[in-house]
């Protein structure tokens, strides 16, 4: 059985009590979802910093991983307002979202900053959820070239360890539809090849984000290892619908395990989403 990765970031849409209600509802569903229980589907949830303890408590008896929406590039010290990878790892956080387009656009984070954050996370045993993607719409070949270059810059100097690369073309974030399947396949296949060429990234996965929802995993097949969801997944039942789809893909073996190299990536022949 192959593993499919599904993640959701809550950004700052939820207040604390709404987040607790969401965690409880999702924990109940995850505890009875066969693919999540078996590990065939790897599920991670990324709340705000203040919501992390409640998420860890809610998912303590499940296989759901809890993440952080950012991480400091610095080691513990005199850095007011920062949250270090060391502290996140200490409390039980497993993944750290790094390099999201909003961080780059709103807070001026560069590839150099992103690389330092990725290095800090990996050094403390956190798996980066590294967000990459072209800012303006272009053809698949050019997008693949630009995104692979960005990936290399974002991991420059980072220690060995697996990463979850979330391909999120900026122009598709918040759009009515995801990017066309052929476009996604062209870029994710190139990302997968770049990761496979680096032995220190063994065990990495490539997932797609950007207006992702039901049906997309089936259309993409083995072009991706999973999805990174946004507001669609704020409804636990809607999220379970994607988990069901992921479970079918995992049981069919269409998506290679996150711990194994991709052997037969699609060439991107599907039509638009």
- What are the residues facing 127 on neighbouring strands? 95
245 given a catalytic annotation: no
Helix, strand, coil distribution of the chain in percent, nearest 5: 45, 15, 40
Distance CA 245, CA 3 (A): 12
Give me the catalytic one of 33, 97, 100, 245.
Answer: 100
* Other beta carbons within 10 Å of 88: 26
Say which residue the tokens 């939820």 belong to: 14
- What are the residues facing 95 on neighbouring strands? 67, 127
End-to-end CA distance of the chain: 27
Distance CA 6, CA 227 (A): 5
DSSP tally for the chain: helices H, then strands E: 10, 8
- What are the residues facing 164 on neighbouring strands? 129, 205
Distance CA 120, CA 98 (A): 11
168 given a catalytic annotation: yes
Give me the catalytic one of 73, 109, 168, 245.
Answer: 168
Angle of helix 140-154 relative to helix 181-196, nearest 10 degrees? 40
Catalytic positions: 100, 168
């Amino acid at each position: 059985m192959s593993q499919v990765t599904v993640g959701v970031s809550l950004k700052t849409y939820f207040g604390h009590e709404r987040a607790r209600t969401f965690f409880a509802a999702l924990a109940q569903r995850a505890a009875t979802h066969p693919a999540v229980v078996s590990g065939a589907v790897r599920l991670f949830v990324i709340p705000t910093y203040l919501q992390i303890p409640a998420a860890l408590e809610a998912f303590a008896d499940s296989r759901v991983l809890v993440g952080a929406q950012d991480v400091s590039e610095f080691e513990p010290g005199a850095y007011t307002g920062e949250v270090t990878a060391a502290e996140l790892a200490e409390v039980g956080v497993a993944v750290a979202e790094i390099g999201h387009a909003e961080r780059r656009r709103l807070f001026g984070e560069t590839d150099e900053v992103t690389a330092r954050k990725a290095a800090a996370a990996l050094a403390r045993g956190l798996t980066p959820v590294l967000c990459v993607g072209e800012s303006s719409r272009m053809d698949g070949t050019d997008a693949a070239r630009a995104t692979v270059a960005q990936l290399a810059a974002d991991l420059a100097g980072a220690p060995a360890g697996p990463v979850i690369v979330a391909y999120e073309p900026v122009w598709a974030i918040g759009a009515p539809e995801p990017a066309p399947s052929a476009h996604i396949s062209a870029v994710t296949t190139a990302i997968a090849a770049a990761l496979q060429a680096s032995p220190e990234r063994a065990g990495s996965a490539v997932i797609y984000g950007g207006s992702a929802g039901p049906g997309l995993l089936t259309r993409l097949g083995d072009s991706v290892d999973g999805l990174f969801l946004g507001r669609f997944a704020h409804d636990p039942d809607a999220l379970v619908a994607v988990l069901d789809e992921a479970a079918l893909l995992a049981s069919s073996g269409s998506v290679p395990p996150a711990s194994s190299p991709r052997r037969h990536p699609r060439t991107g022949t599907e039509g638009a989403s």
